[in-house]
Amino acid sequence: MRTLLLCGHGYLGEAIARGFRGAGWEVVALSLSGGEDSIACDLSAPASVAALQANPDFIVHCAASGRGGEDRYRAVYLDGCRNLTGRFPGVPLLFTSSTSVYAQVDGSVVTEESPAEPDRETGKILREAEDLVLSKGGIVARLAGIYGPSRSVILKKFLSGEALIEEDGRRYLNQIHRDDAAAAVLKLATCPTPGEAYNVADSVPLTQLECYQALSRIFSLPLPPSGPRDPDRKRGWTHKQVSNKKLTARGWSPGFPCFMDAVKSVAPTLAPG
């Protein structure tokens, strides 16, 4: 039986654990505070990582920064990946990064070969962590915005009447269902390709206007009002279409090719307010 060391046991991590266990893997899960079937470990602390007794065949780093800023990004992502690769040399590590590393604002299609030059410091830290992992023969999975049961910022704001169409609504929204992201991680662990990055996004990027127009039709609610763009987005304001073709060529395909395929099942799970 192969063993996965799962570093991060939150919304995505729990789905990854279910998928690996379903495929016959043993899963050793870590979280900062422990509990909930996970072992307490501070990835940013070398001594905490050095004390791990696991003997993994594969490592997934999907820990979150806890909405922290630059310091937390550096600690969790860059230091965390450095400590893991130091503690388990030669063991493949998959790092779940973000499509926010692509800073394009022209609406173009971006692939793994496109420039990934974020202008925000948090994005730059993600790129440092990516480069570290790739240099050690690991894998980088650049995830689009994650949604799924009990979670969808876009849908929740729309249903609560808080949504706003930025300017003319031309900005593309790139998303991925949590379960499709977890399935992608399992696919990349089953047939690893050292030193490669993959975009993990659904197959139908929607402009913000297209998204809200479709939601208005589905739920028979008015279109949100227009307003200015948000210049203070944590990972920057971008406008691009993230291509998943490199990953689909590996045999993965999203169960929810488009956000609209999932909204009716996600809506009842969202907490009001």
Query: Is pLDDT at 150 greater than 90 in this prediction?
Result: yes
Rg (CA), the chain: 19
- pLDDT value of position 234: 57
Length of the chain as a residue count: 273
- Give the closest residue to 63 by CA, choosing from 150, 138, 131, 129: 129
CA 29 to chain centre: 18
Q: What would the pLDDT profile of 83-101 be if each residue is shown by its tens digit? A: 999 999 999 999 999 999 9
- pLDDT value of position 176: 98
Q: What is the pTM of this model?
A: 0.96
Strand blocks (E) in 45-195: 58-61, 93-98, 109-110, 139-143, 145-147, 165-166, 172-173, 175-177
Yes or no: say if 102 and 237 are a contact pair by the CB < 8 Å rule. Answer: no
Percent of the residues in the chain that have a pLDDT greater than 90, as a whole number: 92
At residue 29, φ and ψ (nearest 5 deg) are -100, 140
What is the DSSP-derived secondary structure letter of residue 51? T
Report residue 273's pLDDT band, with 50, 70 and 90 as the boundaries. low
- ∠ CA 258-94-262, rounded to 5°: 15
d(CA 36, CA 140): 27
Q: What is the mean pLDDT of the chain?
A: 95
- pLDDT value of position 192: 87
Yes or no: say if 188 and 139 are a contact pair by the CB < 8 Å rule. Answer: yes
- Give the closest residue to 264 by CA, choosing from 219, 231, 217: 219
What the chain holds in terms of domains, given with CATH numbers, is 3-150+176-202+242-255 (3.40.50.720)
Q: What would the pLDDT profile of 40-88 be if each residue is shown by its tens digit? A: 999 999 999 999 999 999 999 999 998 789 999 999 999 999 999 999 9
Query: Is pLDDT at 106 greater than 70 in this prediction?
Result: yes
d(CA 224, CA 242): 25
* DSSP assignments along 218-253, one per residue: HHT-PPPPEE---TT-TT-----EE--HHHHTTT--
Phi-psi category of residue 78: left, alpha or beta, with phi > 0 → left and psi -120 to 50 → alpha: alpha
- Give the closest residue to 73 by CA, choosing from 147, 33, 30, 130: 130
Instruction: Determine the average pLDDT of the residues in 181-209.
Output: 97
Report residue 230's pLDDT band, with 50, 70 and 90 as the boundaries. confident
